[in-house]
Structure 1
Amino acid sequence: MTKKLFLLLFAVIGFTMQIQAQDDIQLADTLVINGETIIMLGDSVIILRPEQPVYWKKGGNFNLSIQQVSLTNWSAGGASNLALNTGVNLFANFQKDKKIWDSKLTVNFGFNRQSDRRFATRKTNDNFIFVSKYGRELTPKWYLSTQIDARTQLLSGYRYFRPSGSERDARSKISNLLAPAYIQSSTGLNYKNELKNGDKISVIGSPFTGRFTIVMDDSLSRAGAFGIIPGEMVRAEAGMSLTSATDIQLLENIRWKLDLNLFSNYEKLGNIVVNMNSVVSMKVNKYITTRIETVLIYDERVLITRSDDTKGPAIQVQNLINFGIGVDF
């Protein structure tokens, strides 16, 4: 009998403790308003907001390199000089549902100053490139896209030479702001693939491409520079084009970007206008980088004055190796 009373008392105590523990547990009230979950727990209010989709990706890069040589009473000879090269690259990419809109702006400028020569400051790099592409998805990697490609420079460009019998340099203007400027509009199929490691490949083939060459400088226009009719300021062409943009991580700290634009006029199929920009970036740390930039241009309508004073179409090549500050943002 005593044993049964003991077990009954033990059960009553356990049941009482369980009821008290349940009284100590505060049940939370939950409310959902416009997709936001509001949880009220005692005197606390917790708001859980759903993760918002990100439609825009924006960023860019700024680079700057400076070289200075100062000589005073230097018996080995030479000249003091200052060289600067800088550039900024900006991008804004939009993707929502089956629509994409990618835009990119590149501005580069560089000069060299040597105090002991006529025209001491001379431009070494100057370009302005804006590319914007809008597309509608056909399949996960194929789009129907329209792209605008605009290219020009910011300052006047000169050819420096020394006339026969003269001891001083002379110069003649060969380019200017919007002289030339190239605007190309193309519509076609776009293959676009972004890999998991961040590598990007985009290729657009367009059988419907319009290309406009603009020369807004009166003296260059009258001379028929850059293939326009003398006295005119705009030359319009219809043709086909192939445009590609590649962004690949070669090694852990080495990245390669290549932009290629090929255009052929329907009137002269096979005569291709080439614009190629290649940039290899090698990061030393977060702020120090080495950049190897190569620009290649070929346009048979642009007549180049060669070193032997003959004129004709030629492959234009610009190579730059910069070591300096490089900041991604």
Structure 2
Amino acid sequence: MIKRLLFLFAFIFSSVHLSLAQDEIQLADTLVINGETIIMLGDSVIIMRPDKPVYWKTGGNFNLSIQQVSLTNWAAGGASNMALNTGLNLFANFKKDEKIWDNNLTVNFGFNRQSDREFATRKTNDNFIFISKYGRELTPKWYLSTQIDARTQLLGGYRYFRPSGADRDARQRISDILAPAYIQSSTGLNFKKEYKNNDKVSVIASPFTGRFTIVMDDSLSRAGAFGVIPGETIRAEAGVSLSSATDIQILENIRWKADLNLFSSYERLGNMVVNLNSIISMKVNRYITTRIETVLIYDERVMITRSDDTVGPAIQLQNLINFGIGIDF
């Protein structure tokens, strides 16, 4: 009997204590000030702040590869050389409500040095590309967008050759910073889709495009290089354009990024200026990567001196295979 009374007393005491605790919670005062929830419970104050929305996404990639060959008294022949290639890619993308603003900067530079030749150090890679796009949402996948595409290089470029009858190489300067530079402004419909695995596809078609070819070097301008009128520094064209940007995960450690820009002026509608940049990245681990980079350019106004010494428009192609450090941030 005594055990039953003790059990009943303990049950009643626990029920009363739990009821009082619930009453305390129910009696807590709650305030909402500027989106923050403030809960006052007895002598305690609890502040619950909502998560702040994130409108900007920023990041980038840096890669560096170095190759060195040193030969001393090497019976099989050859020459000591060193090659370096580096690249930096930065992006800053904004999205809020129905507005987007995507910015991307790519800078690449490379050279090789071979000690036993005239002009031992020679540039192998030199690109500066800035693309900025602002858009307003029409539907979840379609935007009305304006894009600025600016391209140039950082250092002078040379054509190396050996004059007839000479025993030493010579060089001719054929490009420089802002010689050429290409600035393209386009407005049109933009299809943009992002997938759950971070794959991205964007295509913008513009019937209203302005393209400016800039040659700020006097000697190149006087020669009418890159399609400008001899003596002029800027050539302006109006036309249509199609631009696309692709970022796709092919396999677990293999990613493909490509940017394609097509432009045709109203003056020569159908004759395309082509700019293609493609990068396949194969990650070995967090810091080691292999990159296969391809750049393809075609512009019928740019006269190329070919290997057979003929001059005329031609497809410009650059292929790079790099194995080295790759850091994402």
Q: TM-score, normalised by structure 1?
A: 0.94
Aligned to 1:142: 142
User: Counterparts of 1:161-310 in structure 2 under 5 Å?
Assistant: 161-310=161-310
Letter of the structure 1 residue corresponding to residue 268 of structure 2: K
- Work out the CA distance in 2 between the residues paired with 1:200 and 1:14: 62
5+ residue gaps, structure 1: none
Aligned to 1:19: 16
- Work out the CA distance in 1 between the residues paired with 2:204 and 2:319: 26
- Work out the CA distance in 2 between the residues paired with 1:7 and 1:324: 79
- Work out the CA distance in 1 between the residues paired with 2:132 and 2:204: 13
- Work out the CA distance in 1 between the residues paired with 2:10 and 2:79: 100
**CA positional deviation for 1:8:** 9.0
Query: SS of the counterpart of 1:53?
Result: coil
**2:156 is equivalent to residue 159 of structure 1:** no
**CA positional deviation for 1:224:** 0.4
- Work out the CA distance in 1 between the residues paired with 2:41 and 2:109: 60
User: Counterparts of 1:304-323 in structure 2 under 5 Å?
Assistant: 304-323=304-323
- Work out the CA distance in 2 between the residues paired with 1:212 and 1:18: 82
**CA positional deviation for 1:24:** 5.9
Query: SS of the counterpart of 1:219?
Result: helix
Query: SS of the counterpart of 1:77?
Result: coil
Structure 1's 237 and 30: CA in aligned 2 closer, same or farther, altered over 3 A?
Answer: same
**CA positional deviation for 1:43:** 5.1
- Work out the CA distance in 2 between the residues paired with 1:10 and 1:223: 106
- Work out the CA distance in 2 between the residues paired with 1:147 and 1:133: 4
Letter of the structure 1 residue corresponding to residue 279 of structure 2: V
- Work out the CA distance in 2 between the residues paired with 1:16 and 1:103: 66
Letter of the structure 2 residue corresponding to residue 304 of structure 1: I
Query: SS of the counterpart of 1:18?
Result: helix
Structure 1's 310 and 38: CA in aligned 2 closer, same or farther, altered over 3 A?
Answer: same
Aligned to 1:83: 83
- Work out the CA distance in 1 between the residues paired with 2:15 and 2:226: 92
Structure 1's 11 and 281: CA in aligned 2 closer, same or farther, altered over 3 A?
Answer: closer
- Work out the CA distance in 1 between the residues paired with 2:241 and 2:155: 28
Q: Which moved more, 1:220-229 or 1:37-46?
A: 37-46
Aligned to 1:113: 113
**CA positional deviation for 1:147:** 0.3
Q: Which moved more, 1:48-57 or 1:294-303?
A: 48-57
Structure 1's 21 and 65: CA in aligned 2 closer, same or farther, altered over 3 A?
Answer: same
User: Counterparts of 1:10-49 in structure 2 under 5 Å?
Assistant: 14-23=11-20, 26-27=24-25, 28-41=28-41, 44-49=44-49
Query: SS of the counterpart of 2:220?
Result: helix
Query: SS of the counterpart of 2:163?
Result: coil
Letter of the structure 2 residue corresponding to residue 87 of structure 1: G
- Work out the CA distance in 2 between the residues paired with 1:91 and 1:73: 48
- Work out the CA distance in 1 between the residues paired with 2:38 and 2:125: 58
- Work out the CA distance in 2 between the residues paired with 1:162 and 1:297: 26
- Work out the CA distance in 2 between the residues paired with 1:33 and 1:159: 69
Q: Which moved more, 1:105-114 or 1:195-204?
A: 195-204
Query: SS of the counterpart of 1:101?
Result: strand
Which string of whole-angstrom CA distances, capped at 9 and with x for unpartnered residues, describes residues 131-169 of structure 1? 000000111100000000000000000000011111111
Q: Which moved more, 1:258-267 or 1:40-49?
A: 40-49
Structure 1's 29 and 311: CA in aligned 2 closer, same or farther, altered over 3 A?
Answer: same
Aligned to 2:64: 64
Q: TM-score, normalised by structure 2?
A: 0.94
Aligned to 2:95: 95
Query: SS of the counterpart of 1:105?
Result: strand
- Work out the CA distance in 2 between the residues paired with 1:214 and 1:130: 16
**CA positional deviation for 1:19:** 3.1
The count of aligned residue pairs is 326
Letter of the structure 1 residue corresponding to residue 194 of structure 2: E
Which string of whole-angstrom CA distances, capped at 9 and with x for unpartnered residues, describes residues 289-317 of structure 1? 00000000000000000111110000000
Query: SS of the counterpart of 1:268?
Result: coil
Query: SS of the counterpart of 1:280?
Result: strand
**CA positional deviation for 1:18:** 3.4
- Work out the CA distance in 1 between the residues paired with 2:196 and 2:208: 32
- Work out the CA distance in 1 between the residues paired with 2:254 and 2:176: 35
